[in-house]
Structure 1
Amino acid sequence: MKSVLFLCLFVFIGPLFYGQSSFSSGILPKVRVSYKLTDQIKWINGIESRQLLIDDTNDDSFNYDYVLTDISSLLSFRIGAHGVLNGGYLLRIKDEKLFHRTIQQYNLVFNYDTFRIGHRFATDQTFNSQESVELRGRYRITLEKPLSGNNIDQGEFYLKLGNEYIFKFQDDKSDLEMRVLPFLGYEINTKNKIEIGLDYRLDKLLNSGAENDLWLSINWFYTIKRGE
């Protein structure tokens, strides 16, 4: 457990020492509704909106600006005791343009005595009528730990730490983005939970002029079981 905590500390503090070229910040609310079709299959729908409050590349760095809205729909298939396979589609509305994204994910979750570790391996393809296709490969590791007891139970808080690396390919160019995601979650009941935390993104790591984005992320997750 000590080695896990040390790794998390290194991952979350390390980006702060990276030289900044630009910085922006805002809020990132998200709602996700999951419908359990069977014990092995779920239909997951989400909507997420980015709203910018700070952008140091503008003359007036403190200014509200709507950025985009993402609407997604995924089918999730449980495979064995630890694996989940997801596939679906995302529609992005940005600058009065529509972007389309196809998504493939494979998740592995391992439960230990007092915490659990999740791995997500993903690919996606983003395209519209005016730009070439952007291909991405993604890997995320997540640690979840209850703040009291050994399990995340109803009416309890939990800590969720995530670290993700995104490899991007477009027009014979490649780049790398890293994300750091510390969250505080609360399990309201078996159907509802909320998570509030930071979504820090360090982009263009392989090119000059790194971009730093810090979002206040507010997530609500709701689950509907078949027959309810």
Structure 2
Amino acid sequence: MALGYQYRIEDGENTHRPIQQISILQRESKYRIGHRIRTDQTFFKEAEILWRLRYSIKGQVPLQGLELDPGEQYLIVSNELIYMNQNGEDDLENRFVASLGFYFDDKNKLEIGFDYRTDDYLVDDRFRHRLWFKFGYYKSL
């Protein structure tokens, strides 16, 4: 279980987002499967609250051997479905991510890949899709 907070400045507007989540990790012989259920609420200065409920599933597989050891690479694939409601209007978003990871040690890893998103499923004539190159460095304290 985790709680979080995000403060964001975008287009000159400040938003506040409290986050609540539950994560479950299954460790099988060669791979890991993670499940996450998250809720968050985004507070805007001049708009109604954006409520979101998110579910994601992520798989991780080492590319060498049966376990992920320091200095090895791994593949990560995840899918996240997001339901959102603002002003009584519902919408859905889907995020699919595929990345190559580099595991340096228990405290450092790097992931490089692609993030493909689709949204505005329930809004008339606004369906869209986007693709980003994703780069992340993770440091455990």
| Distance apart, 1:191 and its partner CA | 1.3
> Do the aligned residues in 1 keep the contact of 2:117 with 2:130 (CA within 8 Å)?
yes
CA distances 1:32-74 after superposition (whole Å, capped 9, x unpaired): xxxxxxxxxxxxxxxxxxxxxxxxxxxxxxxxxxxxxxxxxxx
CA RMSD of aligned residues (A): 0.7
User: Which ranges in structure 2 are unaligned for 5 or more consecutive residues?
Assistant: none
| Distance apart, 1:209 and its partner CA | 1.8
Letter in 2 for 1:125: Q
Q: Which has the higher contact order (CA 8 A, sep 6+)?
A: 1
| Distance apart, 1:123 and its partner CA | 0.3
Does 1:219 find its partner at 2:136? yes
Alpha-carbon distance in structure 2 between the residues aligned to 1:193 and 1:141: 20
Superposed, 1:1-228 pairs within 5 Å as 85-207=1-123, 208-224=125-141
Alpha-carbon distance in structure 2 between the residues aligned to 1:172 and 1:209: 18
Alpha-carbon distance in structure 1 between the residues aligned to 2:29 and 2:52: 34
How many pairs align? 140
Q: Which one has the bigger helix percentage?
A: 1
CA distances 1:76-131 after superposition (whole Å, capped 9, x unpaired): xxxxxxxxx01010011100110110100100000111101100001000012111
TM-score scaled to structure 1, two decimals?
0.60
Q: Which one has the bigger strand percentage?
A: 2
Q: In structure 2, the residue corresponding to 1:167 is in which secondary structure?
A: strand
Stretches of 4+ moved more than 2 A in 1? Answer: none
> Do the aligned residues in 1 keep the contact of 2:112 with 2:136 (CA within 8 Å)?
yes
Alpha-carbon distance in structure 2 between the residues aligned to 1:190 and 1:171: 44
Give % identity: 39
Q: In structure 2, the residue corresponding to 1:98 is in which secondary structure?
A: strand
Alpha-carbon distance in structure 1 between the residues aligned to 2:49 and 2:78: 27
> Do the aligned residues in 1 keep the contact of 2:13 with 2:45 (CA within 8 Å)?
no
The structure whose Rg is larger is 1
